[in-house]
Amino acid sequence: MKPIRVTVWNEYRHEKSDEAVRKVYPQGIHQTIASAFSDPLQVADPADFAVRTATLDEPEHGLTQKVLDETDVLIWWGHMAHQEVSNEVVDRIQIRILGGMGLIVLHSAHYSRIFQRMMGTSCRLRWREADEKCRIFNIRPDHPITQGIPDTFELPAEEMYGERFGIPDPEELIFLEWFQGGDVFRGGCCFRREKGKIFYFQPGHETYPQYYNPIIRQIIVNAARWAAPLSPVAPEMDSPNAPLFEVMPKH
Amino acid sequence: MKPIRVTVWNEYRHEKSDEAVRKVYPQGIHQTIASAFSDPLQVADPADFAVRTATLDEPEHGLTQKVLDETDVLIWWGHMAHQEVSNEVVDRIQIRILGGMGLIVLHSAHYSRIFQRMMGTSCRLRWREADEKCRIFNIRPDHPITQGIPDTFELPAEEMYGERFGIPDPEELIFLEWFQGGDVFRGGCCFRREKGKIFYFQPGHETYPQYYNPIIRQIIVNAARWAAPLSPVAPEMDSPNAPLFEVMPKH
Amino acid sequence: MKPIRVTVWNEYRHEKSDEAVRKVYPQGIHQTIASAFSDPLQVADPADFAVRTATLDEPEHGLTQKVLDETDVLIWWGHMAHQEVSNEVVDRIQIRILGGMGLIVLHSAHYSRIFQRMMGTSCRLRWREADEKCRIFNIRPDHPITQGIPDTFELPAEEMYGERFGIPDPEELIFLEWFQGGDVFRGGCCFRREKGKIFYFQPGHETYPQYYNPIIRQIIVNAARWAAPLSPVAPEMDSPNAPLFEVMPKH
Amino acid sequence: MKPIRVTVWNEYRHEKSDEAVRKVYPQGIHQTIASAFSDPLQVADPADFAVRTATLDEPEHGLTQKVLDETDVLIWWGHMAHQEVSNEVVDRIQIRILGGMGLIVLHSAHYSRIFQRMMGTSCRLRWREADEKCRIFNIRPDHPITQGIPDTFELPAEEMYGERFGIPDPEELIFLEWFQGGDVFRGGCCFRREKGKIFYFQPGHETYPQYYNPIIRQIIVNAARWAAPLSPVAPEMDSPNAPLFEVMPKH
């Protein structure tokens, strides 16, 4: 069994410019997420995953064709600089997803260019920063993403994301969220786009330590296992001419 | 009841450059499709629809903001010049669809920029020109699009389009197609993208007279009724800050 | 346009045995629901609907074959006596639904025999009577059921129904509910079963006046329009032998 | 890793009463299917599965509570005696499925009582015995069920099953079938019902040797892996009273 090759991508701007965020994630959100894949609490066998990170300000945002060619699952966190991600890189990621690479979209990356590209919609939502409690309900206990996850659990504080969430109907709705201030949200959604699997997961505002929470970490690791391609990634973008299967009658 | 405002868009190139196509559609495919909406065979009350046409080589491809603002349902036929449709116009159509405008995508427009944009996928398929028989099965007799349509009907010849069709799962699968040369195709598919409804329908190769066929015409008219917005078109692209519904406890 | 023939079915036991319920619904829940279909607040043209009622303790529960044959949409409220509904009547309703009759399932009828029959699942949920506030979110503003319904509205008190709701994935998820005590629920769900449309809607505990609420009434009326068959109800339960469409080659 | 416990159930009547069938399946269809799970062509490690069989004429149809309690995936073939399966056994299987047991429904078992029970529909279809060619298209190359399965393959002869197939929309449509006589069919469909996964697969008329075909066998083995529960089977049929998560304000 080869390891699943995960690339954790982070915009990595808040951590540099905002002291409050740096306190929570001194090495950057990407390093905290990446650490889940070698954390014995989440992963019994460390050989299951091979993890790297990439950030916006690296050349080609750290996502060269070579890096993507070696990526089975891409995890994406972004917020304030979505528009700085280049067309070329978005195109490249989309093609790789259609060929089978998994994509995990976290929190404010609902507005990332790659998620909008894959959905074809605005991906808009309502939001509020009010330090409010969030309770997450697991409505698919049979799903690979929820193995080991309780029926419900709380985050003491999270940015509120509320409906209407401007997405196509997810193929599978995994988590529903309750917010103390009076809102609900489809906080865990699975999509398939050709051979690629996509999971959107709401938690992870930059000022809260969600990515240290063992339940959140387990969900992300489970999602990476679920989203990994079952066969080698191979996009089929063209429409080939097809020979006849059957001999046609003479006219 | 106000009329449903339909805009039939056609690339309108084959008809100018190819004698065989001009023979079938001397006024252009768009005029033949448009005529269905005032044809007593398909529409009992001509006041139900107000139809206009637009083509690629008009300024802004005939789809100015004003034209789109007055369009409830856009019908799209294109084939050889998909890449000539400008970004600006594709963006404009997408936003209008997300706000509630319907879109009907015909035949080779599976590869149109607007359909790819709305799907987030390649929309690839397999194809063959072999003058082969196509039998269409109506698998949703309860649906608005199939009212008055038989359980199955034949086209004496159609270009074969075959699976795998590179689309997201349709929210509703309406027609399945059988091709004489040995292929099958999901030939009638409904999608919703925020407030907009989208119908992809396979028949309509430029060398065959499908758009004169009363069953095909009825399906297109039915689809326009189904895709028409139920309330005024209003895109919501932004993510608004939302006030608390509930008073929060003091910490 | 013929009127849509609605039959409102009610168990009609709580109202007889429980003074608190009788105070809220002195004529029975069925009469209050039925009145929405001739209420000018909900229905501009009273000729749109023809309404009758039926209750558990009538012969054949008021649902003879003749009554069902004259019903386009059946509305169902039950709670304490689900098991008293006979097999024969459940069979009869199921066959009619498969042929195109609509079914609207209200509140505690999640556990009715007919809903369990159509779903194939337990339809279990978590519940609580705590006089708690319920806020309902409309996540499908494009849908026939939500026309005229605000993006969100409150019920001052409702019995809590919470996830996990033991249903198949709904074809369309229309409403999500937030409960003050900390729960969420998929409170408005559409299902299709062959030619029949089914809508489950959560509000309506017998001690609260929800069926006098004009928004709730509008939703029920909208749902009846949506669920009404588009063509005459005609179940197809058998598997017919089918002739060849194509001449087969000699072996 | 514990083995997946598979029980192959067969009606086992045709093989006793019909010489032509006995020639194809001298030990019964169940034994041929069961043999796939220890066939090195399909299963690299024989410890992956533990297989037993059960048939209609055994006591309790071979499906005692104990047998079901030890079954992770149940495979079902039946045709002429669907109505002889007892209510009690159908109830028992349904409850086990809702708790997480997988169900694989083959060919004429579309009309079995357990499949009708899980679907809530008639499961009717059109059929024809004409020794016709069947070509199967894999439209989900990303799915666990299609790993190692080609994009398309042929059966030289199969009973035709054609649309309209009276099922709810499958959550995932895996295979489409083309029949030489002019029909199409949704021949491979996945459903989820609470924690249980269900796969319907069309091939397998009793007079053809389909269950010796290595591709068919691989699909059945793959489906068993996919349908196996991810956690111990545990039905939740009741609706529990739920305590408040949040302290409610005083009125």
Q: D206-241 pLDDT, tens per residue?
A: 999 999 999 999 999 999 999 999 999 999 999 999
Q: A233 near A93, Cβ under 8 Å?
A: no
Taking an 8 Å cut-off on Cβ atoms, the answer to whether C166 and D245 are in contact is no
**Confidence (pLDDT) at D218:** 98
**Confidence (pLDDT) at D247:** 86
Q: Which residues of C121-137 are buried (b: 16+ CB within 10 A; e: fewer)?
A: bbbbbbbbebbbbbbbb
Taking an 8 Å cut-off on Cβ atoms, the answer to whether A176 and C172 are in contact is no
Taking an 8 Å cut-off on Cβ atoms, the answer to whether D176 and B165 are in contact is no
Residue A237 lies in a domain: no
- Interface with A, mutate which of B90, B193, B237, B250 (most A CBs under 10 A): B193
- Interface with A, mutate which of B135, B205, B245, B250 (most A CBs under 10 A): B245
* B57-114 residue pLDDT tens: 999 999 999 999 999 999 999 999 999 999 999 999 999 999 999 999 999 999 999 9
Residue C22 lies in a domain: yes
| Cross-strand partners of A173 | A189
Residue B105 lies in a domain: yes
Residue D250 lies in a domain: no
How far is Cα C124 from Cα A157, in angstroms, rounded to an integer?
A: 30
Q: What separation in angstroms does the CA of D186 have from each of A86, A239, C6, C171, D174?
A: 41, 23, 34, 18, 8
User: Does the structure show a pLDDT above 60 at A251?
Assistant: no
Taking an 8 Å cut-off on Cβ atoms, the answer to whether D239 and C171 are in contact is no
Q: B208 near B23, Cβ under 8 Å?
A: no
Say how far residue B129 (Cα) sits from the centre of its chain. 22
* C103-148 residue pLDDT tens: 999 999 999 999 999 999 999 999 999 999 999 999 999 999 999 9
**Confidence (pLDDT) at C250:** 67
User: Does the structure show a pLDDT above 80 at C14?
Assistant: yes
* C178-222 residue pLDDT tens: 999 999 999 999 999 999 999 999 999 999 999 999 999 999 999
User: Does the structure show a pLDDT above 60 at A232?
Assistant: yes
User: Does the structure show a pLDDT above 70 at D251?
Assistant: no
Q: Which residues of D touch B177 (CB under 8 A)?
A: 184
- Give residue B103's domain range: 4-123+188-227
Q: What percent of chain B has pLDDT over 90?
A: 97
Residue C220 lies in a domain: yes
* B195-213 residue pLDDT tens: 999 999 999 999 999 999 9
User: Does the structure show a pLDDT above 70 at D198?
Assistant: yes
Residue A236 lies in a domain: no
Residue A193 lies in a domain: yes
What string of DSSP letters covers A39-95? -TTT-S-GGGEEEEEEETTSGGGG--HHHHHT-SEEEEE--S-GGGS-HHHHHHHHH
* D9-53 residue pLDDT tens: 999 999 999 999 999 999 999 999 999 999 999 999 999 999 999
Mean pLDDT of D173-188: 98
Closest CA–CA distance from residue D30 to any residue of chain C (Å): 25
Mean pLDDT of B174-178: 98
Q: At what angle do helices A29-36 and A214-227 cross, to 10 degrees?
A: 70
How far is Cα C163 from Cα D98, in angstroms, rounded to an integer?
A: 16
DSSP C250: P
Mean pLDDT of D107-111: 98
From C151, C193, C150, C187, select the one nearest C171 (Cα to Cα). Answer: C193
Mean pLDDT of A164-170: 98
Confidence of residue D248 (pLDDT cuts 50, 70, 90): confident
User: What is Dmax (Cα atoms) for chain A?
Assistant: 78
Residue A214 lies in a domain: yes
Of C135, C151, C183, the CB nearest to A182: C135
**Confidence (pLDDT) at C251:** 56
* C25-58 residue pLDDT tens: 999 999 999 999 999 999 999 999 999 999 999 9
How far is Cα A220 from Cα A188, in angstroms, rounded to an integer?
A: 11
Residue B37: CATH number of its domain: 3.40.50.880
Q: Which is higher by pLDDT, B249 or D95?
A: D95
Q: What percent of chain C has pLDDT over 90?
A: 97
Mean pLDDT of A42-46: 95
**Confidence (pLDDT) at A227:** 98
Report how many domains make up chain D: 1
Q: Which residues of C touch D197 (CB under 8 A)?
A: none
* D133-151 residue pLDDT tens: 999 999 999 999 999 999 9
Confidence of residue B249 (pLDDT cuts 50, 70, 90): confident
* B139-153 residue pLDDT tens: 999 999 999 999 999
Number of residues in chain C: 251
**Taking the CB of residue A156, how many other CB atoms lie within 10 A of it?**
11
**Taking the CB of residue A192, how many other CB atoms lie within 10 A of it?**
19
**Confidence (pLDDT) at B251:** 56
Collapsing DSSP to helix, strand or coil, D179 comes out as strand
pTM strictly above 0.90:
yes
**Confidence (pLDDT) at B1:** 74
Q: B103 near B76, Cβ under 8 Å?
A: yes
Closest CA–CA distance from residue B226 to any residue of chain A (Å): 18
**Confidence (pLDDT) at A220:** 98
- Other chains touching A, judged by 3 or more CB pairs under 8 Å: B, C, D
From D78, D114, D92, D86, select the one nearest D191 (Cα to Cα). Answer: D114
CA A109, A114, A115, A121 torsion-angle sign: positive
